[in-house]
Chain A
Amino acid sequence: MTDFLDTFLDDYFAECDEHLTAVRRTLLALESSIGRSRPDPTITEELFRAFHSLKGIAGMVEHREIEMLAHEMETYLRAVREGEVRLTTAGVDRLMDAARLLEHSIAARRQGEQPIDIEPALAELRQISPDEEDSPPSSALPAPDSPAASWQCLFTPSPELIARGINVDVVRARLREQGDIISALPVVGDGGAIAFRFVFEGNPEIAERDAWVADGMVCSKIDDAAPVAVSTVVGERSAATLSSANHVRVDLARLDDLMRMIGDLVIRRARLGDAIARVESLVPSTDWRGIQENMSALERQLRELREGVMRVRLVPVAEMFRRVPFVVRDLARETGKRVTVDVSGEATEIDKFLVERMLDPVLHVVRNAVSHGLEGVDERIAAGKSPEGTLTLTAAAAGEMVTIQIADDGRGIDTARVIARARVAGLAIPAHVDEAAILELISSPGFSTRDASDRVSGRGFGMAVVRTRVQELGGAISLASTPGQGTRFTFDLPLTLAITDALIARVGGETFAVPQASVREVIEINTGGIHALETGELIQYRGAPVPIVRLSDALAIPVRPATRLHAFIVNAAGAPIALVVDRVVGQREIVVRTTSDPLIRVDGIAGATDLGDGRAVLILDVAALARQARRTRGIVPVRETA
Chain B
Amino acid sequence: MVKASLAALSGPCEFVEASSGLEAIERLALGPIELMVLDLNMPDMHGLEVLGFVRSHSKYRQVPVIILTTRGDDASRAAALEAGATAYMTKPFAPGTLATKAQELLEPGSR
User: Which residue of chain A lies nearest to B50 when distances are taken between CB atoms in the complex?
Assistant: A186
Q: B45-73 toward A: CB 8 Å interface, digit per residue (1/0)?
A: 10001000100011100000000001001
Chain A residues whose CB sits within 8 angstroms of the CB of B23 once the complex forms: 167-169
CA distance A172 to B28 in the complex (A): 18
CA distance A399 to B25 in the complex (A): 29
CA distance A167 to B22 in the complex (A): 9
Chain A 232-271 residues near chain B, CB threshold 8 A: 234-236
Contact among A169, A308, A397 for B22, CB-based, below 8 A = A169
- Please state if A192 and B57 are interface contacts (CB–CB under 8 Å): yes
Least CB distance, B24 to chain A, in whole angstroms: 9
A599 proximal to B (CB < 8 A) = no
Chain B 1-60 residues near chain A, CB threshold 8 A: 19-23, 25-26, 28-30, 44-45, 49, 53, 57-59
A contact residues, total (Cβ < 8 Å): 25
Contact among A157, A234, A307, A397 for B30, CB-based, below 8 A = A157
- Please state if B53 and A186 are interface contacts (CB–CB under 8 Å): yes
A184-B44, A304-B74 known; A168-B57 Cβ under 8 A: no
Least CB distance, B49 to chain A, in whole angstroms: 6
Chain A residues whose CB sits within 8 angstroms of the CB of B44 once the complex forms: 172, 184, 234-236
CA distance A267 to B75 in the complex (A): 25
Chain A 155-191 residues near chain B, CB threshold 8 A: 157-159, 162, 167-169, 172, 184, 186, 188
Contact among A168, A192, A311 for B26, CB-based, below 8 A = A168
Chain A residues whose CB sits within 8 angstroms of the CB of B19 once the complex forms: 169
B contact residues, total (Cβ < 8 Å): 21
Contact among B26, B70, B73, B75 for A167, CB-based, below 8 A = B26
CA distance A169 to B45 in the complex (A): 12
Least CB distance, B71 to chain A, in whole angstroms: 9
CA distance A162 to B58 in the complex (A): 24
- Please state if A194 and B25 are interface contacts (CB–CB under 8 Å): yes
Chain A residues whose CB sits within 8 angstroms of the CB of B75 once the complex forms: 308, 311
CA distance A186 to B22 in the complex (A): 7
Chain A residues whose CB sits within 8 angstroms of the CB of B20 once the complex forms: 168-169, 172
The CB with the most chain B CB atoms within 10 A, among A159, A168, A169, A193, is that of A168
Chain B residues whose CB sits within 8 angstroms of the CB of A196 once the complex forms: 22, 25-26
CA distance A12 to B71 in the complex (A): 36
Chain A residues whose CB sits within 8 angstroms of the CB of B49 once the complex forms: 234
User: Which residue of chain A lies nearest to B58 when distances are taken between CB atoms in the complex?
Assistant: A192
Can you give 13 A-B contacts (C-beta < 8 A)?
Answer: A169-B20, A172-B22, A192-B58, A194-B25, A194-B26, A194-B57, A196-B22, A234-B45, A235-B44, A236-B44, A304-B73, A311-B73, A311-B75
10 closest residue pairs by CB, A with B: A194-B29, A235-B44, A168-B22, A168-B26, A157-B26, A186-B25, A235-B45, A169-B23, A186-B53, A192-B59
Q: Which residues of A contact B (CB under 8 A)?
A: 157-159, 162, 167-169, 172, 184, 186, 188, 192-194, 196, 234-236, 304, 307-308, 311, 397-399
Q: Which residues of B contact A (CB under 8 A)?
A: 19-23, 25-26, 28-30, 44-45, 49, 53, 57-59, 70, 73-75
